[in-house]
């Protein structure tokens, strides 16, 4: 088990057993020891649609009850809905989800009563789990029943999103909702219809389908393109497994970049400060009336950057990641309605902001994208790429300029390097290539930017080929 860019991750078979109870107990003890909670306090538990999630949730409920906490079952809800409800109730939360990673893996996202845990919290929980493990932690499932709070959780989130746009803001649009196995699937249909859109739901699955909104698979793109053609859609929306990363595709079924969705949302909110990882598009700095702060990849780093901006006196602080998840550290006013800060990733705000812009400008999404004139960005990953191999590759690339130059010899000459997270290389012809091991899974990621789609696709293919060749030789 290890914490990645957002939450704990591990194999489903391991987490269905002792491991989920171990980490839930470690989290509960951390809350008690840090005086962030006390026995008798409420802890909320939500989950995604993975086969392993119900059993993990039951284990966590049993473990927390054993420490004297009250628990409540929020059911299969989006992570931002659970987080919002936790903030309202001043309750800690556990979201059982592996987000976008394959179904043979799962995870847990932890929230303190005041919001998402940070890296210091992760270290403390990891240390507590190690101490419990050394002491011979044992766990016998008790199948305790937690009261159902799913409707209260859901209703609060619908209320939040139901005030983001004006009545009938999406009238005239035909929007597809690729439902697959995301917990956001029914809420998306409900909200889009509420705003006047004609909604066509498709692709619903009772088997979990991993959808990575940062590196959309060719299989998923084919599904989106077929649906766009079949139903004559103006747009398609979806999300990852736990509904904190948006997927928006244009009228042809071509997905929009997540960082573009974040940029559109920052402008929608009239943000003063935007916090985003180094992997987001390099053109963001000149695409809005806001100051940009760059961080490492992962919501804890974005949240820390937003908190630093707030501490320094900034207002109107928002953040987003390259996967499209939007976070807010400030309260905003949208159409005269208050929007409470929600410093965790959310897929609904960027989806609604983007569709609203398309409707108000009466432009197809493809034309809207073109108006931003950002460098063309692309990203992909090599799955089942051993973590040890990723570590060796990154050590080799960082060992000296001659190693990096040799690795990139067939691609281009190095002009500048950023080592904030992974290795981001600006080439002398101004193209960008970025190598970064995943923080959640055995995957090696590659991000690129270039002037045209063809050039970006070629650079991405060359980068991935270089990784494969190096791994084969070493």
Handedness of CA 70, 74, 78, 84 (dihedral sign): negative
**CA-based Rg of the chain, rounded to a whole angstrom?**
22
Pull the structure tokens for residue 294: 């760059």
- DSSP letters for 433-472: EEEEE-SSSS-EEEEEEESSHHHHHHHHHHHHHHHHHHHH
**What are the Cα distances from residue 158, in Å, to 56, 120, 326?**
27, 32, 17
The alpha carbon of residue 300 and the mean position of all alpha carbons in its chain are separated, in whole angstroms, by 11
Tokens 């591990």 belong to residue: 10
Q: Which of 6, 12, 20, 99 is catalytic?
A: 99
Question: Is 205 labeled as catalytic in the residue annotation?
Answer: no
Q: Could you list the beta-strand ranges (E) of 372-443.
A: 376-382, 414-418, 423-427, 432-437
Length of the chain: 474
The answer to whether 237 and 188 are in contact (CB under 8 A) is: yes
What span, in angstroms and rounded, lies between the C-alpha atoms of 232 and 252?
9
The answer to whether 272 and 288 are in contact (CB under 8 A) is: no
What span, in angstroms and rounded, lies between the C-alpha atoms of 15 and 3?
13
What span, in angstroms and rounded, lies between the C-alpha atoms of 428 and 11?
42
Q: Could you list the beta-strand ranges (E) of 168-325.
A: 174-178, 198-202, 235-239, 246-249, 273-277, 291-295, 317-320
Closest to 25 (Cα-Cα) out of 119, 145, 149, 135: 135
What span, in angstroms and rounded, lies between the C-alpha atoms of 272 and 269?
9
What span, in angstroms and rounded, lies between the C-alpha atoms of 320 and 350?
9
Active site residues: 99
């Amino acid at each position: 088990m290890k914490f990645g860019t957002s939450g704990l991750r591990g194999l489903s078979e391991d987490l269905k057993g002792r491991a989920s109870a171990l980490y839930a107990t470690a989290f509960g003890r951390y809350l008690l020891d840090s005086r962030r909670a006390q026995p008798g306090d409420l802890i909320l538990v939500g989950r995604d649609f993975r086969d392993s999630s119900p059993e993990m949730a039951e284990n966590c409920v049993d473990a927390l009850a054993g420490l004297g906490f009250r628990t409540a079952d929020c059911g299969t809800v989006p992570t931002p809905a659970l987080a919002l409800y936790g903030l309202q109730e001043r309750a800690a939360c556990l979201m059982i989800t592996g987000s976008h990673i394959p179904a043979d893996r799962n995870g847990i996202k932890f929230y303190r009563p005041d919001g998402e845990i940070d890296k210091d919290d992760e270290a403390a929980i990891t240390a507590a789990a190690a101490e419990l493990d050394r002491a011979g932690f044992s766990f016998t499932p008790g199948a305790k029943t937690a009261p159902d709070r799913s409707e209260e959780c859901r209703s609060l989130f619908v209320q939040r999103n139901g005030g983001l746009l004006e009545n009938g803001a999406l009238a005239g649009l035909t929007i597809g909702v690729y439902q697959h196995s995301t917990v956001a699937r029914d809420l998306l249909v409900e909200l889009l219809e509420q705003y006047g859109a004609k909604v066509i739901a498709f692709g619903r699955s009772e088997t979990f389908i991993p959808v990575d909104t940062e590196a959309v698979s060719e299989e998923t793109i084919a599904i989106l393109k077929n649906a766009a053609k079949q139903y004559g859609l103006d747009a398609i929306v979806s999300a990852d497994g736990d509904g904190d990363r948006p997927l928006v595709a244009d009228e042809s079924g071509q997905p929009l970049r997540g960082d573009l969705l974040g940029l559109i949302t920052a402008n929608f909110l009239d943000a003063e400060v935007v916090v985003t990882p180094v992997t987001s598009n390099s053109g963001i700095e000149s695409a809005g009336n806001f100051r940009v702060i760059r961080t490492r990849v992962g919501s804890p780093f974005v949240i820390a950057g937003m908190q630093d901006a707030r501490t320094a006196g900034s207002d109107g602080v928002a953040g987003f990641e390259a996967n499209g998840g939007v976070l807010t550290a400030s309260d905003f006013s949208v159409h005269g309605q208050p929007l409470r800060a929600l410093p965790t990733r959310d897929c609904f705000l960027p989806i609604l902001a983007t569709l609203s812009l398309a409707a108000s400008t009466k432009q197809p999404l493809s034309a809207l994208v073109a108006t931003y004139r950002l460098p063309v960005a692309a990203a992909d990953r090599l799955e089942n790429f051993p973590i040890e191999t990723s570590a060796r590759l990154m050590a080799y690339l960082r060992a000296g300029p001659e190693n990096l130059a040799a690795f990139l010899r067939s691609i281009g000459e190095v002009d500048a390097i950023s080592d904030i997270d992974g290795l981001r290389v600006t080439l002398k012809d101004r193209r960008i290539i970025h190598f970064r091991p995943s923080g959640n899974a055995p995957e090696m990621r590659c991000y690129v930017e270039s002037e045209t789609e063809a050039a970006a696709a070629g650079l991405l293919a060359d980068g991935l080929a270089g990784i494969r060749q190096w791994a084969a030789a070493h």
